[in-house]
Structure 1
């Protein structure tokens, strides 16, 4: 199938924009993709979006980046796959690289966290809006609602994401089948570029879960095993990845720069994201075939419910960390009303929130 240059251009513009404004981690990225690509641009339906979300949740690596790659594949084939992934990663990688240069020069993280204080309430509003919209499609009956509540409670109890996804998928399959039967400060040592690349390649190939899981992998590899970073540097790297836009895995860019400068930053970024491109490229065609199987379809229905529950659990945790003052509550309320009633573009609200967060800190 051939695709026009206009489609490729649209993919580049959309995912570069998302990569620049997608603050708040995977749940926020997913919510913004749903708003931009399902609601506004009509690239795909809500059920198709939830299917891709369930699919990418089962693959190791950064879920929201893999979702962007899969969406690019669906819109523009193999070229669209690479364009979407690169355009989504590049803005965040550039910002993190610049901050890493500043950090290495001055030994501290710039005070952009004050801006993020105003952005977090906007992100929470975006996520909750997406939960409502996707929930209307995913929670179709009583059994879906019960599975959603069970998965949500398991997540709050600290059960692993993959365990929840698999259990919910199998439970949905059992429910559907039964209905048919009845009718995861030390001295720093040098580390080569090759070893740096291979280490991040390994992490990108096997890591499931959130930024906290990434922290555990980085601790094990770069502090405990190779002694290439200090604990303070590692915590600052993860903090940068958390409050800059785009994929949290761009923490790799920061770590790579601290160890081997710009070449290290680039190789670390390529290493951690390369498996995601390959997983989607190789497995997406297989996924399309499996979706037509009634057996796999039942499991995937359960996984999509669990994916929504995991987003809801993240929303609760983000809410607990966000509502720290009356200003944050006010920003959330204005953003939520703007999104629901007036259909305001979330990018404008993020800029507004960041400005207010900076302004309040300065006063």
Structure 2
């Protein structure tokens, strides 16, 4: 009998260490026999099992976000759509509602939204270590690709085939975004007022109203509607920029920038052409184009610019500088976000922001569609991709590779 209790207690201790909530009620239970041997056995087994369990989760985080960083073409809207498909629909890391909450939260803070979302998802999955693993693995593939292209560009003055390949990828990306919009919309748009708010935010975005303005207006509008409802019912340099200056300039940009790649272009022009004369206008436009055409975060444009100014060290420091604020902001603000979510006022604002976030994705889809449907090939590619995604649940990475190959073949 005592031997049975001894093994039962060891099993309970192992399960508690692995985070199984159902056994926490047995936490005051003690072993009846062989206490010292029990402690030794328990330390070995629990330490080994929990360490193995943690390693598997860390490995999963690294592989998931590295693959997303390698295949996530098309800018933030596409990145968000692929994250939702991979982490909500397939891996069940979190619910659609929780995903939309994190999306609304990351839209409120400065920096690259999709990268911040990746960082926040890593934090939610495995705390601070998960935060850094997710962010680094999402950024690293894009940074490496952009750095190699920057070396090629500096040597030969151009980067061939990028536009042709991307022309084949764009229809696939559009299909991925549309699929995510429908899925997320089922959770976010559940009544007439959220539908009206979605349409209003979409129209404001199409008319060129800034993203942060749309988000804040939507948040306040939803809060007012909820309260009303409750009341009724109750700028070339002679001297090159130093490495320190490159780092600090990108650190400043990463700390205050809201919005898309076009907003990034404005910041880069003001700093590197008008203020420091470190680049030509052609170099800057090429840098932004590379950032747009390559997978992963658009802000890896910083890697390209840093390399043109100060080689590999400049590329690395520019990348760290522009992304560092995102890690720090999520690390500092995520715990506060969890507390604020319990507030009815903040919850109402966040509900409006999540609806507006979907509207901004829809606006990007509309603009991407206008730029994508320039031939019958792109229309067919879009149709095939949408059917493959929605009916056959085909992995979007394979479709992106297929689209890139077709775009390349059409130029041969």
User: Shorter-normalised TM-score: what interval?
Assistant: over 0.9
**May I ask how many residue pairs the two structures share in their alignment?**
361
Query: What residue is the counterpart of 1:297 in the other structure?
Result: 347
1:92 counterpart = 2:120 = no
State how far apart, in whole Å, the 1-side matches of 2:89 and 2:182 are.
13
1:322 counterpart = 2:375 = no
Q: Secondary structure at the match of 1:361?
A: coil
Identify which of 31, 38, 42 aligns with 2:92. 42
Query: What residue is the counterpart of 2:272 in the other structure?
Result: 222
Gaps of 5+ in 1: none
Query: What residue is the counterpart of 1:67 in the other structure?
Result: 117
State how far apart, in whole Å, the 2-side matches of 1:256 and 1:219 are.
14
The within-5 A match list for 1:131-210 is 131-183=181-233, 186=236, 189-210=239-260
Query: What residue is the counterpart of 1:116 in the other structure?
Result: 166
Q: TM-score, normalised by structure 1?
A: 0.98
After TM superposition, give the deviation of residue 186 of structure 1 in Å: 4.7
- Report if aligned partners of 1:188, 1:229 keep a CA contact under 8 Å in 2: no
Q: Deviations over 1:205-249 (max 9, x none)?
A: 000000000000000000000000010100000000000000000
- Report if aligned partners of 2:112, 2:258 keep a CA contact under 8 Å in 1: yes
Identify which of 335, 346, 362 aligns with 2:385. 335
Structure 1 stretches of 4+ with a deviation exceeding 3 A read 185-189
After TM superposition, give the deviation of residue 111 of structure 1 in Å: 2.0
Q: Deviations over 1:292-348 (max 9, x none)?
A: 111100000000000000000000000000001000001000000000000000000
Q: TM-score, normalised by structure 2?
A: 0.86
- Report if aligned partners of 1:187, 1:230 keep a CA contact under 8 Å in 2: no
Gaps of 5+ in 2: 1-18, 20-49
Query: What residue is the counterpart of 1:360 in the other structure?
Result: 410
After TM superposition, give the deviation of residue 189 of structure 1 in Å: 3.9
State how far apart, in whole Å, the 2-side matches of 1:40 and 1:257 are.
38
Q: Secondary structure at the match of 1:4?
A: helix
Query: What residue is the counterpart of 1:279 in the other structure?
Result: 329
Q: Which has the higher contact order (CA 8 A, sep 6+)?
A: 1
State how far apart, in whole Å, the 2-side matches of 1:156 and 1:109 are.
32
- Report if aligned partners of 1:21, 1:246 keep a CA contact under 8 Å in 2: yes
State how far apart, in whole Å, the 1-side matches of 2:171 and 2:161 are.
18
Identify which of 56, 65, 73 aligns with 1:6. 56
User: What CA RMSD, in Å, does the superposition of the two structures yield over aligned residues?
Assistant: 1.1
Query: What residue is the counterpart of 2:11 in the other structure?
Result: none
After TM superposition, give the deviation of residue 358 of structure 1 in Å: 0.5
After TM superposition, give the deviation of residue 188 of structure 1 in Å: 5.6
- Report if aligned partners of 1:103, 1:110 keep a CA contact under 8 Å in 2: no
- Report if aligned partners of 1:78, 1:281 keep a CA contact under 8 Å in 2: yes
State how far apart, in whole Å, the 1-side matches of 2:148 and 2:108 are.
33
Distance 1:188 1:234, change over 3 A: farther
State how far apart, in whole Å, the 2-side matches of 1:234 and 1:283 are.
33
- Report if aligned partners of 2:161, 2:408 keep a CA contact under 8 Å in 1: no
State how far apart, in whole Å, the 2-side matches of 1:204 and 1:26 are.
15
Query: What residue is the counterpart of 2:81 in the other structure?
Result: 31
State how far apart, in whole Å, the 2-side matches of 1:106 and 1:187 are.
21
**Computing the radius of gyration over CA atoms, which structure comes out larger, 1 or 2?**
2
